[in-house]
Amino acid sequence: MKLFDVYPLNDITIVKAKGSYVWDGDGQQYLDLYGGHAVISIGHTHPHYVQRVTEQLHKVGFYSNSVHIPLQEELAARLGKVSGKPDYQLFMCNSGAEANENALKLASFHNGRKKVIAFSKSFHGRTSLAVAVTDNPAIVAPVNQTDNVIFLPFNDEEALEECFKKQGDEISSVIVEGIQGVGGIREASASFLQTISRLCQQHNAVFIADSVQCGYGRSGKFFSHDHAGVDADIYTMAKGMGNGFPVGGIIIAPHIKPKYGMLGTTFGGNHLACAAALAVLEVIEQENLIANAAETGNYLMAQLKKIRQLQKVRGKGLMIGFDLPENLKDLRKNLLTEQRIFTGEAKPNVIRLLPSLALRKKDADQFMEALQEEIQMMESSAKAVK
């Protein structure tokens, strides 16, 4: 059997990982500022994480939600504390798309409405409704197309006010990333998020904060939406939640009430997933990783802003993006092949940095040195060709 060929691959096989580094089969070391797409939150193979997951596996790896799983309650309590939302309710699932799917569905159950507002350049996942609220027609199959989604321009408060004025009583939910990831590290302004919050409250719509990529401490606060001082009704999470173990979840404000059978999933909240998620939160707390993300992120951003060739350096914490001029469009590829550094991208010309929240200043310095060397080499070889 062949693999279904949907991923364009870098020609690299990773066989070992530790902290912010990974190694290929030839023993070549790479600095990882991509974190397998913002997934590695506490660092690769963190000893506490390895130990907690291993110990759990020896006890019980899985049983379904037909029995008590006290680890879920332990996780909910710790998540409530670390996120600053102790009165919210946790529902666990397995991925970011599934988290958004459940959030959108729950909102619709809650207020009995069908319409969802989403924004330009949004990415919310690839399952049916999650992809329907994603602003990329190329990944929306005909079966996913629906008239229930209204796309508005990102950060446009007037358009939002206008839409609520016209059809506020039909809007079930508004879904928004605090910092758009796939869209190219574009921050929602504080006043935009505050307007969403106010309009949702006024019209009994549900404010869904997609925190799959920008959440879990990455922005220097637990949720990136926290920078705007708003409380969403539902936060969706995945990626950093399990540091590589596939676990996702939504946390739900107290006024949204559960009912048996309303949501469900076989694997969601299994013992192993809870152990992984608990280990992540324990390390985040013990090692002050949210403060580290803020501090190291500020440092890295300040260094990047000094490089004149990089345009529009932006982001928060360790979710950083910058635009590349045309002559440096191969910089990301060269960083990988020449400097052995993984970074992320966003089309057409953005480099995205999504490292572990445990990134150290010396790792940032290593990156800055390599980045400057690579830019210089690219510019001088371009001159030589002329």
Residue whose beta carbon is closest to ligand PLP: 96
Tokens at 174, concatenated? 């508004």
Q: In this chain, which of 34, 119, 123, 154 binds ligand PLP, going by CB under 6 A?
A: 123
Residue 22: φ, ψ to 5°: -135, 160
Q: Which is nearer to ligand PLP, 85 or 239 (CB)?
A: 239
Residue 293, interface with ligand PLP (CB under 6 A)? no
Number of residues that bind ligand PLP (CB under 6 A): 14
CB of 325: closest distance to ligand PLP in angstroms?
26
Residue 212, interface with ligand PLP (CB under 6 A)? yes
In the chain, beta strands by DSSP E: 14-18, 21-24, 29-32, 89-93, 115-119, 149-152, 171-177, 179-180, 186-187, 206-210, 234-237, 248-252, 311-316, 319-323, 341-342, 344-346, 350-353
Of 168-176, 205-213, 290-298, 309-317, which segment contacts ligand PLP by CB under 6 A?
Answer: 205-213
Q: Which is nearer to ligand PLP, 182 or 301 (CB)?
A: 182
Q: Which is nearer to ligand PLP, 247 or 359 (CB)?
A: 247
Q: Which is nearer to ligand PLP, 154 or 164 (CB)?
A: 154
d(CA 85, CA 76) in angstroms, rounded, equals 10
Tokens at 121, concatenated? 């350049």
Q: Which is nearer to ligand PLP, 121 or 332 (CB)?
A: 121
Q: Which is nearer to ligand PLP, 8 or 70 (CB)?
A: 8
Q: In this chain, which of 31, 40, 97, 294 binds ligand PLP, going by CB under 6 A?
A: 97
Residue 238, interface with ligand PLP (CB under 6 A)? yes
Among residue numbers 140 through 199, which ones bind ligand PLP (CB under 6 A)? 177, 181-182
The SS3 of residue 86 is: coil
Q: What is the DSSP string of 245-302?
A: S--EEEEE-TTSPP-TTSS--SSTT-HHHHHHHHHHHHHHHHTTHHHHHHHHHHHHHH
Question: What angle, 0 to 180 degrees and rounded to 10, lies between the N-to-C axes of helices 361-385 and 289-305?
Answer: 30
Of 1-9, 189-197, 209-217, 288-296, which segment contacts ligand PLP by CB under 6 A?
Answer: 209-217
Q: Cβ of 18: how many Cβ atoms within 10 Å?
A: 14
Q: Which is nearer to ligand PLP, 43 or 215 (CB)?
A: 215
Tell me the one-letter amino acid at 310: L
Q: Can you say how many angstroms the Cα of residue 222 is from the centroid of all Cα atoms in its chain?
A: 12
Q: What DSSP designation does 133 have?
A: T
Residue 96, interface with ligand PLP (CB under 6 A)? yes
d(CA 249, CA 263) in angstroms, rounded, equals 12
Alpha-carbon torsion (144, 163, 124, 83), positive or negative: negative
Residue 210, interface with ligand PLP (CB under 6 A)? yes
Q: Which is nearer to ligand PLP, 30 or 123 (CB)?
A: 123
CB of 248: closest distance to ligand PLP in angstroms?
6
Of 52-60, 123-131, 250-258, 303-311, which segment contacts ligand PLP by CB under 6 A?
Answer: 123-131
The 66-95 site mask, x for binding ligand PLP (CB under 6 A), equals -----------------------------x
User: In 3D, which of 92, 156, 88 has the Cα closest to residue 118?
Assistant: 156
Q: Cβ of 98: how many Cβ atoms within 10 Å?
A: 23
Interacting residue ranges for ligand PLP, rule: CB under 6 A: 95-97, 100, 123-125, 177, 181-182, 210, 212-213, 238
